[in-house]
Homo-oligomer: A and B are copies of this chain.
Amino acid sequence: MSDGTPPIPGPAGPREGLVAGGAHGPGRLRALTAIVLDALEDAAPARGGPLPAGGPEVVALSTLARCAPVLPEEGVGPEAALGDVVRAVAEGAADPADPACVAHLHCPPLAVAVAADLAGAALNPSMDSWDQAPAAGVIEELTTAALARLIHPTAPAPDALITSGGTESNLVALLLARERAVPGTLRVVTGANAHHSVHRAAWMLGLPAPVVVACRDGRIDPAALDDALASLAGAPLLVVATAGTTDEGRIDPLPEIARVAERHAARLHVDAAYGGPLLFSERLAPLLAGLEHAASVTFDLHKLGWQPVAAGVLAVADAGMLAPLSLRADYLNADDDTEAGLPDLLGRSIRTTRRPDALKMAVTFRALGRRGLGELVEHCVRTAHEFGRAVDTRPGLRRRPGDIGISTVLFRPTVADALPDEAGDAVVAAVRRTLLAEGRAVLGRAQAEDGDGRRRLWLKATLLHPDAAAAELLPLLDLVTAAADRAATEAEADGVVTGADADRAATEAPGAEDTDAPAAERLSP
């Protein structure tokens, strides 16, 4: 010590080589990531399916065996901890890279994006000031500018923010709309098909609950929207439409909605968390016609974009709309620093410290290009239509009548149709849970309108895998049919079937009609 102060003894043991950055960190990280990659490599065969068999209790026990106590008094060391915990999480994963894992808008991330994300974690730039993220800030700016131009190609000054996902994007969209109105006056109007985050955002922001407009076939009815807006005349209005609903992949009729909104001087926000990446494909982009009229757009790259979570985006038609987010905090963006040329990053988020999520997006964009990304989106859409046609040919299954929404296929076993509605829905739900508990398939569920206008429960396959072919998905259909037969037999044993119900199901249930979607036509050669 140069200052002559007697040193305070440090703790026993060496502390070298702890951190991931600097000159020596990457070497240390190389050794530790090797342990992670080995564990991941071993886990998929050990798991033996898209998720572990046995259901929640079994998974909890095997995870506890490897991970508890999670905060011991004395540590077990990095190697042992990594080996145990990573093995537990991988063997106990619902791995979206398995073709039978199709429940949610939960994508298998691209290896290139995951590798890029490792660099972000190791360097740990925080996106709230230039002196924590000199180059990462530039990369974010490039990325948001490219997304802004993709989403609002003809706007003079579009902009985009990186968010933690569609929920935060919707929250910020409502916040920006609230701030341009006289306090307490904004009314939000959305469809019955909207994501729950729209309602949650209104709640958080202290706004009245959104007015909900009826849907037809899972899409906002523009006439109903017109009526709703007329009934709110005088209030500042925000219309929230959806391009890719969570349950059905439906795209609201954006051009008509934009016209209705304009007539009532309402601002339009479009939640395109799922559908937005259709813009990467020249052939599919026209499905989003009308999006250019939206003042703000939720766009999510951890769905059709194959980024590891989080990779949310909020695009705005005009950069000036973001003014309410601007903020001064002396330690991050003092006036004199900004005047001296240090870029001010603070007004780009409702968060303060932020991971550099733009980094993995930028690497993926550069790696694949717009064309490559478009081809992956097209692959998912095409696979969904092939899968839908396969469902149509199975006598024991019935696809929901109507178009396939983006890459979401709804179907149910016909044995469920032979039961009273509630019992039929229970069979559908039981099939899903059985396949989960057996570790064989991760299917989703959705309530949606049937051909007779009644809402029923469906199995949902959300096809987001950029590699998997339709043929790899077909075993799912056999699994569903077999599980449904077992569930229906149990239901029959419980005496829930009536002859009348069975007759109705046989005569009224829409059959295997071929109802190709516009998306499929666009992908035909």
Contacts and interface: CB of A to CB of B under 8 A. Distances in A.
A157 interface: no
Given A167-B352, A168-B351, A71 B369 contact: yes
A67 B366 contact: yes
Given A206-B205, A327-B200, A393-B3, A465 B114 contact: no
Nearest to A302: B353
A110 B18 contact: yes
A52 B135 contact: yes
A80 to B, nearest CB: 8
Nearest to A33: B115
A103 to B, nearest CB: 5
Contact of A88 (B33, B122, B135): B135
Contacts of A143: 70-71
Interface in A399-437: 426, 429, 433, 436
Interface string A1-30: 111110111110001111111110111111
Given A70-B142, A90-B119, 6 more contacts: A32-B112, A33-B37, A71-B147, A165-B351, A165-B354, A331-B460
27 contacts: A1-B470, A16-B467, A20-B109, A20-B115, A20-B308, A21-B97, A29-B115, A32-B111, A36-B119, A56-B342, A74-B372, A78-B112, A81-B112, A85-B366, A89-B125, A89-B139, A92-B138, A94-B132, A94-B133, A106-B353, A117-B117, A166-B352, A166-B353, A175-B204, A204-B204, A205-B206, A206-B207
Interface stretch (A288-296, A374-382, A484-492): A374-382
Interface in A85-142: 85-86, 88-98, 103-126, 129-136, 138-139, 142
Contacts of A523: 8
Contacts of A436: 131, 342
Contact of A21 (B15, B95, B125): B95
Contacts of A356: 89
Contacts of A182: none
A300 to B, nearest CB: 8
A387 to B, nearest CB: 10
A430 to B, nearest CB: 8
A363 B85 contact: yes
Contacts of A45: 23
A40 interface: yes
A63 interface: yes
A334 interface: yes
Q: Give the oligomeric copy count.
A: 2
Contacts of A259: none
Interface string A299-319: 000100010111000000000
A213 interface: no
B41 A27 contact: yes
Interface centre among A2, A74, A460 (most CB of B within 10 A): A2
Contact of A123 (B93, B195, B353): B93
Contacts of A18: 110-111, 306, 376, 466-467
A429 B96 CA distance: 50
Given A73-B369, A73-B371, A135 B166 contact: no
B196 A116 contact: no
Given A33-B37, A433-B340, A92 B390 contact: no
B59 A138 contact: yes
Given A21-B108, A386-B1, A342 B123 contact: no
A357 to B, nearest CB: 10
Contacts of A509: none
